[in-house]
Amino acid sequence: MSPSTSSVIEPEEKAASNTWARVLLVFCLLYVFLAGVNGLGGGFKALGGDLLDAFFAATTNPFLGLVVGLLATTLVQSSSVTTSLVVAMVAAPENPLPIANAVPMVMGANIGTTVTNTVVSLAHMSRPDEFRRAFAVATCHDFFNFMAVFLLLPLEMATGYLQRAASVLASAFAGIGGVTYDSPIKTAIKAGATPVKKFAELFTDSAQIQAVIIILVCGVLIYAALFFLVKTMRVLLRAKVEGAVTGALDRQPLLAMAIGMIVTAMVQSSSITTSLLVPLSGAGIITLAQAFPVTIGANVGTTITALLASLAVSGENAVAGVTIAVVHLLFNLSATLLIYPVKRVREIPLGAARKLADIAISNRVAALAYVVILFYVLPMALAALNR
Q: Domain span at residue 173?
A: 19-386
What is the reported pLDDT for 99? 85
Short-list 124, 137, 144, 110, CA closest to 289: 137
What is the reported pLDDT for 147? 94
Residue 241 lies in a domain: yes
Residue 13 lies in a domain: no
Residue 202 lies in a domain: yes
Distances in Å between the Cα of 22 and the Cα atoms of 18, 25, 211, 286 are 6, 5, 33, 19
Residue 276 lies in a domain: yes
What is the reported pLDDT for 236? 59
Residue 7 lies in a domain: no
What is the reported pLDDT for 240? 42
Those residues of the chain that have pLDDT short of 50 are 7-9, 52, 178, 238-242, 244-245
Residue 12 lies in a domain: no
Residue 138 lies in a domain: yes
Helix (H, G, I), strand (E, B) or coil at 238: coil
Residue 127 lies in a domain: yes
| Number of domains forming the structure of the chain | 1
Question: In whole angstroms, what is the distance from residue 35 CA to residue 298 CA?
Answer: 19
Q: pTM for the complete prediction?
A: 0.72
Phi-psi region of 224 (alpha: psi -120 to 50; beta: other; left: phi over 0): alpha
What is the reported pLDDT for 150? 93
Question: In whole angstroms, what is the distance from residue 200 CA to residue 32 CA?
Answer: 17
Short-list 132, 139, 130, CA closest to 283: 130
